[in-house]
Amino acid sequence: MTDVACDLCPHRCVIPEGAAGDCRVRVNLGGKLRATTYGRPSAVHVDPMEKKPLYHFLPGRPVFSIGTAGCNMHCRNCQNWQLSQRGGEEMETVYRAMPDELIALARDEGCEAIAYTYNDPVVFYEYVEDTAALARQAGMRNLFITAAFINREPLRRLCRVLDATNADLKAFDDAFYQSVCSTRLQPVLDALVTFREEGVWVEVTNLVIPTLNDDLALVRRMAKWLRDELGADTPLHFSRFRPMYRMQNLPATPAETLERARREALDAGLHHVYIGNLSGHEAESTYCPRDGTRLIHRVGYRIVENRLTPEGRCPTCNERIAGVWA
Q: What is the pLDDT of residue 92?
A: 67
- In terms of residues, how long is the chain? 326
Rounded to the nearest integer, the mean pLDDT of the chain is 96
Question: What does the DSSP assignment read for 144-181?
Answer: EEE-----HHHHHHHHTT--EEEEE---S-HHHIIIII
Query: Could you give the CA distance from residue 242 to residue 222 in angstroms, rounded to a whole number?
Result: 22
pLDDT tens sequence across 157-206: 999 999 999 999 999 999 999 999 999 999 999 999 999 999 999 999 99
Q: What is the pLDDT of residues 133-168, one digit of tens each?
A: 999 999 999 999 999 999 999 999 999 999 999 999
Residue 187 DSSP one-character state:
H
Question: 78: closest CA among 202, 241, 212?
Answer: 241
Is residue 163 within 8 A of residue 198, CB to CB? The reply is: no
Other Cβ atoms less than 10 A from the Cβ of 256: the count is 8
Domains of the chain: 4-306 (3.20.20.70)
pLDDT above 80: residue 88: no
- Residue 308's pLDDT is what? 98
Omega before 53 cis (within 30°)? yes
